[in-house]
Structure 1
Amino acid sequence: MWFSFFIYTVLTALLPGPNNILALNSSMKSGYQKSKTLLLGIYSGFTVIMLLAAFFTGLLLNSYGFLLNYLKYVGAVYLIYLAWSVISGKQVEIDGEQKEQSSDSAGDFWKGFLLQLVNVKIIIYGITAFSSFIFPQFKELWIILVFAFLLSFIGNSATWIWAVAGQKLHRFLNRHYKVVNTVMGILLLYCAVSLFL
């Protein structure tokens, strides 16, 4: 069972999703250092969602499951907004390299954090992990908290891998900026559409 748990969590975390695509896009355009505030927002929001999933999975599934349907619409709208932002992003010339104009740090933090509140992929990731693997085996609060932080660590590690890939490949990706941004925007749109499939 635990092998399945790790396969599920690691593969799901590594698959393209809003966090991974946003992290790749940001570090590709602005570099890893300038993306740290956005990544911190993603990491913080992800951890909050895993803690909420730990405590409210049973409640959501048994009493308020209909809320997930409404959350899909909110998530889809936000993903479409992110896709438009990625596709229509502008570049400016800095030190002989194409770089994306950076936005304010606080805005980047909240952009990453708020994405988690409507990121159905990670909400389902947490609910599925807790309802299928963790709660059937454990009820102790401290163990549940350990798993919440473990799920957060796995998910945030995957996002970090995508961010590093954006940093390491930024010269190649910047050479093909329009194509790359269009593909990433389409992937975000796919994430939005897939909420209803």
Structure 2
Amino acid sequence: MIPFHELLFFALAALVLVISPGPNMIYLISRTITQGRKAGLTSLAGVICGFLFHILMVSFGLTAILFAVPFAYTVLKTMGVIYLLYLAYQAIKPNSKNIFEVDQSLKIDQPRKLFTVGFLTNVLNPKVAVFYLSFFPQFIKPAYGSIFSQSLMLGCTQILVSFSINFLIVLSAAKAASFFASNPLWVKVQKWFMASVLAFLAVKMALSKAK
């Protein structure tokens, strides 16, 4: 069983990562703004099912990798650091687009397609798999019991955080789009804050050691 304080820190890290813009968030926002909250929630259901797929694949993979390859922890940690620094750069890179700027000409999709596209957007997003493979090992320790069980625990925590935040995003997407359109300074503040937190997590991960 992973100690509560480490699980809490993982939840906080997952929170920072889920609010960093990516394909899932952009898809949910675009569908909510152009087609309404019901469409956004249907798309969110597909995205969450995509997370379940990744978690099962990664849980089995981590169990095999960490037992078979002694230096796997170092390799995965390096991947994690690079990934976090990449996200930090993406947040503040020049000419980066405001995620609430949506093409209003998007066509209307049926619920089945909304769910399917949400699912595939997540399943086919390599960033999600990289996050799981590089971030989970920082919190998994053989002393805590089954690696597979720990992976599932972290996965469920990540899904809970992701669902909660994305649910709020769907409910408030239209209002947020209006707010950021009239207050461009807050867009810059949000981007630099996000980049700072991601960079901090990258440094902390780089300095962590296997136990």
TM-score normalised according to structure 1 size: 0.60
Please identify which structure carries the higher strand content: 1
Question: Does structure 2 conserve the Cα–Cα contact (< 8 Å) formed by 1:53 and 1:130?
Answer: no
How many residues were matched structurally?
149
Residue in structure 2 matched with residue 26 of structure 1 by the alignment: 31
Q: Which runs of 5+ in 2 are unaligned?
A: 70-74, 80-96, 183-211
Shift of 1:147: 2.4
Q: Which of 106, 129, 139 is the aligned partner of 1:123?
A: 129
How far is 1:6 from its partner?
3.0
Match of 2:21 in 1: 16
Contact in 1 for aligned 2:33/2:102 (Cα 8 Å): no
Q: Percent identity?
A: 20
2:46–2:117: 8 Å Cα contact kept in structure 1? yes
Counterpart of 2:27 in structure 1: which amino acid? L
Which residue in 2 is equivalent to 1:74?
A: none
Query: Aligned ranges for residues 169-180 of structure 1 at < 5 Å?
Result: 169=176
CA distance in 2, matches of 1:137, 1:30: 49
**How far apart, CA to CA, are the structure 1 residues paired with 2:102 and 2:164?**
28
Code of the residue aligned with 1:168 in structure 2: it is K
TM-score calculated relative to the size of structure 2: 0.57
Distance in 2 (CA, whole Å) between partners of 1:30 and 1:165 is: 14
2:171 paired with 1:160: no
Which structure would you say has the larger RCO, counting Cα contacts within 8 Å and 6 or more residues apart? 1
User: Which amino acid in the other structure matches residue 162 of structure 1?
Assistant: I
Counterpart residue number, 1:103: 109
Counterpart of 1:7 in structure 2 is 12
Runs of 5+ unmatched residues, structure 1: 69-82, 92-99, 176-197
| Matches of 1:60 and 1:32, distance apart in 2 | 41
Question: Of residues 127, 133, 140 in structure 2, which corresponds to 1:134?
Answer: 140
